[in-house]
Amino acid sequence: MSPVPKTMAGILVEKLGGPEVLQFKTNLPVPHIKDGEVLVKNEFIGINYIDTYFRTGLYKTALPFIGGKEAAGTVIASQSAEFKEGDRVAYIHDGAYAELTAVPADKVVPVPAELSTEQAAASMLQGLTALTFIREAAGIKQELGVSLGPWVLVHAAAGGTGGQLVQILTVMGAKVIGTAGSPEKCELATKHGAQWVINSRTEDVAARVKEITSGKGVDVIFDGIGKDTFDMDFDIIARKGTLVVFGNASGPAGPVELPRLSAKNIKLMRPVLLSYLTTKEERQEYTKELFDLILSGKVNVQIHNEIYPLKDVARAHSDLEGRKTTGKLLLKV
Which residues are at the interface with ligand NDP (CB under 6 A)? 48-50, 125-126, 129, 156, 158-162, 180-181, 185, 200, 224-225, 228, 246-250, 271-273, 320-321, 323, 325
Quote the least distance from Cβ 68 to ligand NDP, whole Å.
Answer: 12
| Cβ-based neighbour number of residue 229 at 10 Å | 23
3-class SS of residue 275: helix
Quote the least distance from Cβ 59 to ligand NDP, whole Å.
Answer: 9
Query: DSSP states of 14-53 as a string?
Result: -S-SSGGGEEEEEEEEPPPP-TTEEEEEEEEEEE-HHHHH
Residue, CB closest to ligand NDP: 247
Q: Based on CB atoms, which residue is closest to ligand NDP, 76 or 314?
A: 314
Quote the least distance from Cβ 181 to ligand NDP, whole Å.
Answer: 2
Quote the least distance from Cβ 154 to ligand NDP, whole Å.
Answer: 10
CB–CB of 73/96 below 8 Å?
A: no
Rg (CA), the chain: 20
CB–CB of 237/264 below 8 Å?
A: yes
Q: Based on CB atoms, which residue is closest to ligand NDP, 173 or 271?
A: 271
- The torsion region of residue 326 among left (phi > 0), alpha (psi -120 to 50) and beta comes to beta
Q: In what order do the strands lie in the sheet with 22-29?
A: 22-29, 7-13, 65-66
Q: Based on CB atoms, which residue is closest to ligand NDP, 70 or 219?
A: 70
Quote the least distance from Cβ 162 to ligand NDP, whole Å.
Answer: 5
Q: Based on CB atoms, which residue is closest to ligand NDP, 30 or 221?
A: 221
Q: Based on CB atoms, which residue is closest to ligand NDP, 74 or 229?
A: 229
Q: Based on CB atoms, which residue is closest to ligand NDP, 82 or 228?
A: 228
Quote the least distance from Cβ 318 to ligand NDP, whole Å.
Answer: 11
Quote the least distance from Cβ 185 to ligand NDP, whole Å.
Answer: 5
DSSP bridge partners of 74: 41, 88
Q: Based on CB atoms, which residue is closest to ligand NDP, 104 or 271?
A: 271
Closest CA to 9 of 25, 21, 22, 20: 25
CA distances from 88 to 38, 83, 85 (A): 12, 9, 9
CB–CB of 290/127 below 8 Å?
A: yes
